[in-house]
Chains A and B, each alone.
Chain A
Amino acid sequence: LAKTTQPISMDSYEGQEVNITCSHNNIATNDYITWYQQFPSQGPRFIIQGYKTKVTNEVASLFIPADRKSSTLSLPRVSLSDTAVYYCLVGDRSSNTGKLIFGQGTTLQVKP
Chain B
Amino acid sequence: GQNIDQPTEMTATEGAIVQINCTYQTSGFNGLFWYQQHAGEAPTFLSYNVLDGLEEKGRFSSFLSRSKGYSYLLLKELQMKDSASYLCAVRDRNTGFQKLVFGTGTRLLVSP
A, B assembled together: no
Binding site for A on B (CB under 8 A): none
